[in-house]
Amino acid sequence: MKSLVRKNILKVTPYKAGKPIEETKRELGLKEVIKLASNENPLGTSPKALAAIRKAVTGVNRYPDSQGFYLKRKLAEKLSLSPENIVLGNGSDELIDVIIKTFVENDEEVLTADITFLEYEIISRVNGRSVATVPLKDFRFDLPEMKKKITGKTKLVFIANPNNPTGTYVSKKELVGFLKDLPGHVLVVLDEAYDTFIDVPDFPRGTDFLKNNNVLVMRTFSKAYGLAGLRIGYAVGAPVLTSYMECVRQPFNVNLLAQAAAMAALDDDDFLRKTRKMVLEEKQYLSDALRRLKVSYVPSVANFILVDTAQSGVEVFQAMLKEGVIVRDMQQYGLNRYIRVTIGTRRENEKFVKAFKKVLKK
Ligand SMILES: Cc1ncc(COP(=O)(O)O)c(C=O)c1O
């Protein structure tokens, strides 16, 4: 009975994930399908992480370490921070939930951009919190406008840097300007899910802003580290913030295999280097191909590109599926002409370009 459901849940539109490969094969009777829809790592997973998972798998009769002791220690060393600065999560998705639950009171508000990672708004609404949004400007977070939108009720500001689905970023200068003289009741969350792919000098690393005590940074192992299926991410901030997040998260939120895999992945510099090189080179390849097709796109510092198809993005998405290529339509974001394409391997990108040419001609 609908009347049993909390009122704010009735208003929530569920998150629509990228279409899985198996489902597409089954539904369309296709043998070969590639997925460029969820910004995953097409090179797979670090061989060191895979070996660690195999080794850890016999221990799954035991609960995982609820404190994530070794992983936090390793991350702390890498980041030149202390383990008390770190909260582990079942992906950044869970951390968004933990952050909202820890910091936003019933009558307080979350502020973000109108076109950004949808989970900020969905999870806020599930928790019964209201959300204010500020339009992007030229596909970028408009921090001066966002600052003007801050009221006595604003508690949390989510900035996806780089932004998903646009691949744009806020510069160091813009972030410094935003943080300067920010009211003391406002906490800023910098979501750096794609930080590993950055190749611009003026990108602000969130970890450089922690001393303000009003900044949290989120990162994930789902993208460059190739561990999306295991669900693991982390947040960093001042212990005066993270210690309360520790009270809110579930005790065994990060599973045993994920902890083992993440530890090993952090040691696999070679895999990370290969991934980064592939993404940067292949982004160039895809951008060149799009330019040749006279298709406009938003220049990206992440591992995906937002492409203007100049027609219905949903129709292009469906036509691409028939060609065995899963991309992401942008209808949920209100970008009806657009699709988002994850950077794949050369073979995948060639398949995308071939299929896209065919679809555009129809
Ligand atoms: C900006 C942003 N934040 C967070 C996430 C979620 O990452 P995770 O897999 O760690 O939950 C994504 C995933 O697409 C993302 O694009």
For the full predicted model, state whether its pTM sits above 0.85: yes
Centre a 10 Å sphere on the Cβ of residue 131 and count the other Cβ atoms it contains. 17
Task: State residue 274 phi and psi, 5-degree precision.
Answer: -60, -45
Q: 39, 221 in Cβ contact below 8 A?
A: no
Q: Whose CA is nearest to atom 13 of ligand 1?
A: 193
CA 256 to ligand 1 centroid distance, Å: 20
Ligand 1 neighbours, Cβ below 6 Å, are: 39, 91-93, 117, 160, 164, 191, 193, 220, 222, 228, 233
pLDDT in the model for residue 1? 85
Q: Residue 228: is it exposed, middle or buried by C-beta count within 10 angstroms (0-12/13-18/19+)? A: middle
**Residue with CA closest to ligand 1 atom 7:** 92
301 neighbors 200 (Cβ within 8 angstroms) = yes
Q: What is the pLDDT along the chain (362 residues), one digit of tens a residue?
A: 889 999 889 989 888 898 999 999 999 999 999 999 999 999 999 999 999 999 999 999 999 999 999 999 999 999 999 999 999 999 999 999 999 999 999 999 999 999 999 999 999 999 999 999 999 999 999 999 999 999 999 999 999 999 999 999 999 999 999 999 999 999 999 999 999 999 999 999 999 999 888 999 999 999 999 999 999 999 999 999 999 999 999 999 999 999 999 999 999 999 999 999 999 999 999 999 999 999 999 999 999 999 999 999 999 999 999 999 999 999 999 999 999 999 999 999 999 999 999 999 77
Predicted local confidence at residue 36, as pLDDT: 97
- Ligand 1 centre distance from Cα of residue 92 (Å): 6
Q: Which residue has the tokens 């280097």?
A: 273
Q: Are strands 304-308 and 297-298 parallel, antiparallel or unpaired?
A: antiparallel
**Other residues' Cβ atoms within 10 Å of the Cβ of residue 27:** 10
Q: How many other C-beta atoms are found inside a 10 Å radius of the C-beta of residue 280? A: 14
The helix (H) or strand (E) run that includes residue 27 is: helix 21-28
Q: How far is the CA of 229 from the centre of ligand 1 (A)?
A: 12
Atom of ligand 1 nearest to the CA of 223: 9
Protein residue closest via CA to atom 16 of ligand 1? 164
What six digits make up the tokens of 12? 């929530």
Q: How far apart are the first and last CA of the chain?
A: 46
Q: Whose CA is nearest to atom 12 of ligand 1?
A: 193
Report the pLDDT value the prediction gives residue 59, as an integer from 0 to 100.
Answer: 97
Q: Which atom of ligand 1 is nearest to the CA of 93?
A: 11
Gap from CA of 2 to ligand 1 centroid (Å): 31
CA distance 309 to 358: 13
| Residue with the two structure tokens 């300067």 | 180
Task: Quote the ligand 1 centre to 320 CA distance (angstroms).
Answer: 24
| Total residue count of the chain as it appears in this document | 362
How far apart CA 131 and CA 35 sit, in angstroms, is 32
Ligand 1 geometric centre to CA of 294 (Å):
30
- Give the Cα separation of 169 and 172 in Å (integer): 10
| 362 vs 360: CA distance, rounded Å | 6
Ligand 1 atom with the shortest distance to the CA of 117? 1
If you ran DSSP here, which 8-state letter would residue 19 be given? P
Determine the distance separating the centroid of ligand 1 and the alpha carbon of 134, expressed in angstroms: 20
What was the pLDDT predicted at 212? Answer: 81
Lookup: tokens for 162? 């780089």
